[in-house]
């Protein structure tokens, strides 16, 4: 029976490359010279430190540009909050989102079931398994899922006949 998996994963190697390129550009830019600006990633937590809100916003946008250049979807970054830090700087904590949450999975399942295709969708942890008898039904499900906007980058893997 043909099937495929729907996942949301982050390529950490490409993410780290984009982060390194961003830090390199920050070090070379004239408007950031001499300022205490840093970005670091520990596991799934990104900490950004900048002297004020404007510079923090510029650094965040710069990181998003570099992520797009490295073909990493910037929607994987979930900005938590910004707070005052030592020395009059501002610290922003962000989290990397990986996997499809239960509510997003249920939304995907409900929207695909509205199409009345002869397929079954199962939630397996943080991914979905879609099975059906006809390959055309599975391809139609793929196009329907791609058209949805759930706020996460989605990949389709393990397509098997």
Domain boundaries, the chain: 3-8+99-160, 12-96
Phi-psi region of 53 (alpha: psi -120 to 50; beta: other; left: phi over 0): alpha
Closest alpha carbon to 117 in 95, 147, 148, 139: 139
Does 3.20.20.190 match the CATH number of domain 12-96? no
What residue has token string 């949450």? 101
Over residues 104-113, mean pLDDT: 90
Residue 103's CB: how many other CB atoms inside 10 A?
Answer: 9
- Quick one: pLDDT at residue 129? 92
CATH number assigned to the domain with residue range 3-8+99-160, chosen from the 4 options 3.40.50.300, 3.40.1480.10, 3.30.70.860, 1.20.120.140: 3.30.70.860
The encoded tokens of residue 24 equal: 């390199």
Q: What is the pTM of this model?
A: 0.82
Hey, do 3-8+99-160 and 12-96 end up sharing a CATH topology, with the first three levels equal? yes
Mean pLDDT for the stretch of residues 129-146: 89
What confidence tens digit (pLDDT) does each residue in 54-65 have?
999 999 999 999
pLDDT tens sequence across 74-85: 989 988 888 887
């Amino acid at each position: 029976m043909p099937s495929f998996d729907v996942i949301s994963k982050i390529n950490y190697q490409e993410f780290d490359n984009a982060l390194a390129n961003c830090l390199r550009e920050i070090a070379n830019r004239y408007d950031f010279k001499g300022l205490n600006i840093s970005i670091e990633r520990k596991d799934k937590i990104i900490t950004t430190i900048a002297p004020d809100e404007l510079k923090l916003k510029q650094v965040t946008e710069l990181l998003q540009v570099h992520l797009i250049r490295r073909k990493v979807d910037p929607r994987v970054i979930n900005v938590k909050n910004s707070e005052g830090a030592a020395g009059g700087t501002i610290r922003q904590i962000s989290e990397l989102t990986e996997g499809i949450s239960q509510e997003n999975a249920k939304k995907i399942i409900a929207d695909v079931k509205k199409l009345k295709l002869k397929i079954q969708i199962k939630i397996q942890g943080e991914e979905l398994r879609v099975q059906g008898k006809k390959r055309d039904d599975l391809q139609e499900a793929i196009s329907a899922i791609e058209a949805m906007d759930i706020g996460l980058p989605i990949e389709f893997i393990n397509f098997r006949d």
